[in-house]
Structure 1
Amino acid sequence: MNDDTPQPTVHPALQPVRGAARIAITGLFLVGAAWVARAVWQVRLATTGQPSSGPPDQGNGQHRPLTGLEDGYHIVTSLGDAATLLCAVAFLVWLLRVSDNARALSGQPPRYAWPWVYLGWIVPVMNLWVPRGIVADVHRQSAPGERLPRAVNWWWGLWLAGMVSGVGLMYTDSTDDVIARAYTNVRLLLLADAAVVGAAVAAVLVVRALTAAQERPRLR
């Protein structure tokens, strides 16, 4: 027997990621649908026009009664916020799992410690690049030598566009303020909505790409 025969490399057991990926993808589709619904309602508001009584927020703490269309937009927004929260949880569960797998595959510590999987989204300034860096690091460790999927850059660029627009996933305006903006400048709202929907679609491709990289046979 030739002792110099190369032996197959047995990689460590990995956590299953397919189920988590499916849940994350479902959440991303729900978020995309929620922002499409918002865009439809914003167009309806702009087409109907602002009532003669003015915007919902009258200033000095005064609010007029909402119209049926405005009340419907509040409901659509609330449902979208709930879908976004569920999607965020599902995406983070998937991201933490593939991060653990990537570390097991490479045998090297990640560039960002595990708390950054969560903190990277909320710490000011750091949230401009840390989440993308975590995803890129997972791909590098899971598929060494392979090119980073283009969907990663599309996802992150569109995410940032939606985030900094002021009406995307992290907008600070109240729903009544957004309604007032729909009456006066709906185009900017629709551009922000398009960025969020595009980011959700690109994120689906990212989840599929990284999941596929970790599901390849690891016995060589």
Structure 2
Amino acid sequence: MSATSPLKPRPLLPARTPQAPRLLLAAVVLLLTAVILSDLFSLYAGTRAHSLLDWEGGFAYASMDDWDAADARYQRAWTFQGQAAIVCGIVFIAWFHRMYRNAVALAPDRLRTGTGWAIGAWFVPLFNLWQPFRIALDMWAVCVPAPASAPAVTPAPGQPAKAAKAVFWPVGLWWGLFVTSGVFNQYTLWAYDRAESIPDLRDAVVQLMVGDVLDLAAAAAAIHFTVRLTAMYRRHTP
């Protein structure tokens, strides 16, 4: 090539869509399963504790040793639940952030917040009651397949994506159960710690068991949400 030869522009390669975080998804599902198992153990502990609190005629038919053992079982269950929730929360937020970054790469003009909020939104008090849900809705709207019969509609820049007749209930179910179980479990632990009479203690144990069921349902809904969102995103990747 001579010094006077015109330089030809290098052809642009098509942007490559990031792959779905399969390993992170597997870790999230595994840890959510561990959360479910810890909830089942707490339900078992609650059932055993409730059977000891047989209130009839003003007397409880349980020795102090039996109740101490039941209470210790409950404490172990709460320890397992707490450990599983912390580890699962860390990995889930990592998956959540990665999926949001991928969604931005897929449709950069259809997301309402920066990628940093996919992590930060979980740690801002009160703000964390709805902002992660909005981010999840945006990711879902980007990844959900549009109905074949629906006309393509390009949203304005900075506005959330809208898909006609798209199904969003998995996002709402997961978030509703997650927030409800979190708030309810905080109340039940408070009620259990402050119970002084046998009837109050028995009521608190029943409430704790209801909270375990809510937490279990929230973990199951989270598994459905994460697996389905990742599967929808993979349809957009080569």
**TM tier relative to shorter chain:** 0.7 to 0.9
- Matched-pair identity in %: 23
Q: Indicate which of 27, 33, 38 corresponds to 1:34.
A: 38
Residues 1:152 and 2:156 are matched in the alignment: no
Match of 1:167 in 2: 186
Residues 1:136 and 2:153 are matched in the alignment: no
Pick the structure with greater CA Rg: 2
Seen in structure 2, the aligned counterparts of structure 1 residues 74 and 174 have a Cα distance that, compared at 3 Å, is: farther
* Worse overlay, 109-118 or 16-25: 109-118
Distance in 2 between residues matched to 1:119 and 1:96, nearest whole Å: 10
**Normalising by the residue count of structure 1, what TM-score does the alignment of the two structures yield?**
0.77
Distance in 1 between residues matched to 2:176 and 2:141, nearest whole Å: 19
Distance in 2 between residues matched to 1:46 and 1:210, nearest whole Å: 39
Do the aligned residues in 2 keep the contact of 1:77 with 1:175 (CA within 8 Å)?
no
State the SS of the aligned residue for 1:83. Answer: helix
Match of 1:183 in 2: 202
**Normalising by the residue count of structure 2, what TM-score does the alignment of the two structures yield?**
0.72
Do the aligned residues in 2 keep the contact of 1:102 with 1:138 (CA within 8 Å)?
yes
Distance in 2 between residues matched to 1:101 and 1:136, nearest whole Å: 14
Do the aligned residues in 2 keep the contact of 1:46 with 1:183 (CA within 8 Å)?
yes
1:173 shift after superposition: 3.5
Unaligned runs of at least 5 residues, structure 1: 1-8, 57-65
Seen in structure 2, the aligned counterparts of structure 1 residues 209 and 149 have a Cα distance that, compared at 3 Å, is: farther
Distance in 2 between residues matched to 1:84 and 1:178, nearest whole Å: 25
State the SS of the aligned residue for 1:218. Answer: coil
State the SS of the aligned residue for 2:44. Answer: helix
1:190 shift after superposition: 2.1
1:174 shift after superposition: 9.2
Q: Which amino acid aligns with 1:19?
A: L
Seen in structure 2, the aligned counterparts of structure 1 residues 141 and 161 have a Cα distance that, compared at 3 Å, is: same
1:21 shift after superposition: 0.6
Distance in 2 between residues matched to 1:113 and 1:46, nearest whole Å: 48
Match of 2:158 in 1: none
State the SS of the aligned residue for 2:237. Answer: coil
Seen in structure 2, the aligned counterparts of structure 1 residues 152 and 120 have a Cα distance that, compared at 3 Å, is: same
Distance in 1 between residues matched to 2:206 and 2:225, nearest whole Å: 28
Unaligned runs of at least 5 residues, structure 2: 1-12, 147-162
Q: State the structure with bigger RCO (CA 8 A, min sep 6), 1 or 2.
A: 1
1:132 shift after superposition: 1.1
